[in-house]
């Protein structure tokens, strides 16, 4: 393979170096394209544009491969836990027992929120979406703690511990406010997922025993969501951070990006779809037929994936936990029944099989969150909690590298130069 790609544009040409990744991905370095030819590339959505070189996550959508720092997602989900995976993603290597213990302790002892933050919670309307609250409070953390860069390793370590520790409390308090319950404080004797479930579902009048399978399922979901290469929210964190914005503000921007229904809100959209089917009488086959009709305007949420062209490896992992949770809960919920019927139909229907529209991680995660008792508006904050290690790692990697401030170009399509007409002379 040539080490350069030749690009010819209107009589001008450049030799663009080829960049080869560790998994043999090929990129064309066009850094000098505009200065040499006056042209830019046009790539709506940046789907063919590499914005950085990263050593964190490898994703192959055609083969259904997802690896964090080289470790297959199947092994991490089956043999590790979210705290260990968080350490791996942020620090680059799996921790020793001593390192993991210290990491978990740091996070556990930074789960408390400053009491003054309650004033901000009280200022939100009761029906405020928890994702908006999450983004706001994370951004507010930068007013309580000094801005940190990557130069001071101890200050950065402390900021990372605070973010990972406090985000579960921030999210749980957003939920408690929405239902008019008092804020529940974290407990240091509980692990990460147990603590979140405790703060979400316990009340001062009674103790809450966290079912093991609930904590286990949540732990696996967080691992599966921990990073996913240069998606919309991760790219946002890197873009905002490229201006040297502090860690808290950059993560806050990532949360805002994740809140959209085309990104982190996809699992919420799954439940809303199930509610629509239920409200219409629960005829699953009617909606399967509508999904196959291009003119119906209806699409099944939680099926297929923009990146994975065959199957979503995360969905295959979480499906077994989905079945286990549903069996344990044993609740009579028509939405969960509809979900199971949809899954069966899509896996057997030739239309979906041929187009490889398999249930993805958003489909199963929404069902699990519903079965665990989480209200639909909390689905996206849970996604944000899981994605936090990836955001942190990308912010650190970007700040430690030679990255420039993000500044995309555009193709201007507006009017050509024209003279200003005074308002008195405008017809």
pLDDT tens digits, residue range 51-80?
Answer: 999 999 999 988 889 999 999 999 999 999
pLDDT tens digits, residue range 130-145?
Answer: 999 999 999 999 999 9
Instruction: Give the structural domain span for 136.
Output: 73-261+382-399
For residue 1, the model assigns a pLDDT of 46
Do residues 169 and 244 share a domain?
Answer: yes
Do residues 111 and 178 share a domain?
Answer: yes
Within-domain flag for 323: yes
Within-domain flag for 135: yes
Q: What's the rounded Cα separation, in Å, for the pair 354 and 217?
A: 31
Do residues 150 and 124 share a domain?
Answer: yes
Q: Which of 305, 337, 350, 394 is catalytic?
A: 305
Q: What's the rounded Cα separation, in Å, for the pair 413 and 308?
A: 34
Do residues 249 and 117 share a domain?
Answer: yes
Structural domain tally of the chain? Answer: 3
Q: What is the CATH number of the domain that holds 325?
A: 1.10.230.10
Q: What is the CATH number of the domain that holds 28?
A: 2.20.28
- Check whether 395 has a pLDDT greater than 50: yes
362 is known as an active-site residue: yes
pLDDT tens digits, residue range 292-324?
Answer: 888 888 888 888 887 887 778 898 888 888 878
Q: What's the rounded Cα separation, in Å, for the pair 68 and 89?
A: 7
Q: What is the CATH number of the domain that holds 211?
A: 1.10.580.10
Do residues 89 and 233 share a domain?
Answer: yes
What is the arithmetic mean of pLDDT over 368-397? Answer: 94
Within-domain flag for 153: yes
3-state secondary structure string, the chain?
CCCEEEEEECCEEEEEEEEECCCCCEEECCCCHHHHHCCCCCCHHHCCCCCCCCCCEEEECCCCEEEECCEEHHHHHHHCCHHHHHHHHHHCCCCCHHHHHHHHHHHHCCCCCCCCHHHHHHHCCCCCCHHHHHHHHHHHHHHHCCCCCCCCHHHHHHHHHHHHHHHHHHHHHHHHHHCCCCCCCCCCCCCHHHHHHHHHHCECCECCCCCHHHHHHHHHHHHHHCCCCCCHHHHHHHHHHCCCCCHHHHHHHHHHHHCCCCCCCHHHHHHHHHHHHHHCCCCHHHHHHHHHCCCCCCCCCCECCCCCCCCCHHHHHHHHHHHHHHHHHCCCCHHHHHHHHHHHHHHHCHHHHHCCCCECHHHHHHHHHHHHCCCHHHHHHHHHHHHHHHHHHHHHHHHHCCCCCCCCCCCCCCCCCCCCCCHHHCC
- Check whether 381 has a pLDDT greater than 80: yes
Structure tokens at 212: 């093991």
Percent of the chain with pLDDT over 70: 99
pTM over 0.75: yes
Do residues 181 and 117 share a domain?
Answer: yes
Do residues 85 and 183 share a domain?
Answer: yes
Do residues 37 and 105 share a domain?
Answer: no
- Check whether 159 has a pLDDT greater than 90: yes
User: Which of 39, 60, 81 corresponds to the end of one domain?
Assistant: 60
Q: Which of 198, 227, 362, 394 is catalytic?
A: 362
Q: Which span out of 10-14, 46-50, 262-266, 306-310 was modeled with the highest average pLDDT? A: 46-50
Do residues 255 and 297 share a domain?
Answer: no
């Amino acid at each position: 393979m040539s080490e350069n790609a030749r690009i010819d544009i209107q009589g001008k040409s450049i030799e663009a170096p080829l960049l080869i990744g560790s998994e043999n991905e090929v990129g064309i370095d066009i850094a000098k394209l505009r200065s040499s030819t006056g042209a830019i590339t046009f790539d709506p959505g940046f789907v063919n544009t590499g914005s950085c070189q990263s050593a964190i996550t490898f994703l192959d959508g055609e083969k259904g491969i997802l690896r964090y720092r080289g470790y297959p997602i199947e092994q991490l989900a089956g043999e590790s836990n979210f705290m260990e995976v968080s350490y791996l993603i942020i620090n680059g290597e799996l921790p020793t027992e001593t390192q993991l213990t210290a990491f978990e302790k740091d996070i556990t002892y930074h789960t408390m929120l400053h009491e003054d933050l309650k004033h901000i919670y009280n200022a939100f309307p009761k029906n405020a979406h928890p994702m908006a609250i999450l983004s706001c409070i994370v951004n507010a953390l930068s007013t309580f703690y000094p801005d940190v860069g990557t130069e001071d390793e101890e200050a950065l370590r402390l900021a990372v511990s605070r973010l990972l520790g406090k985000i579960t409390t921030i999210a749980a308090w957003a939920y408690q406010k929405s239902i008019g319950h008092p804020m529940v404080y974290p407990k240091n004797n509980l692990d990460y997922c147990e603590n979140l479930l405790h703060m979400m579902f316990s009340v001062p009048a009674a103790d809450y025993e966290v079912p093991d399978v609930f904590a286990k399922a949540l732990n696996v979901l967080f691992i599966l969501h921990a990073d996913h290469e240069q998606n919309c929210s991760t790219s946002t964190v890197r873009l905002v951070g490229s201006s040297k914005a502090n860690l808290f503000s950059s993560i806050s921007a990532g949360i805002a990006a994740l809140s959209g229904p085309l990104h982190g809100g996809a699992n919420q959209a799954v439940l809303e779809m199930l509610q629509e089917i239920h409200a219409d009488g629960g005829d699953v086959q009617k909606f399967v037929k509508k999904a196959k009709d291009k003119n119906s305007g209806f699409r099944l949420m939680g099926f297929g994936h923009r990146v994975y062209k065959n199957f979503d490896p995360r969905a295959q992992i979480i499906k077994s936990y989905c079945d286990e949770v549903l069996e344990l809960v044993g609740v009579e919920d028509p939405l969960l029944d509809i979900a199971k019927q949809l899954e069966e139909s899509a896996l057997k229907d030739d239309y979906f099989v041929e187009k490889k529209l398999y249930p993805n991680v958003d489909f199963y995660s929404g069902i699990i969150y519903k079965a665990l008792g989480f209200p639909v508006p909390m689905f996206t904050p849970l996604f944000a909690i899981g994605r936090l290690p990836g955001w942190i790692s990308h912010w650190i990697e970007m700040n430690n590298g030679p990255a420039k401030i993000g500044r995309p170009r555009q193709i201007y399509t507006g009017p050509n130069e024209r003279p200003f007409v005074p308002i008195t002379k405008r017809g």
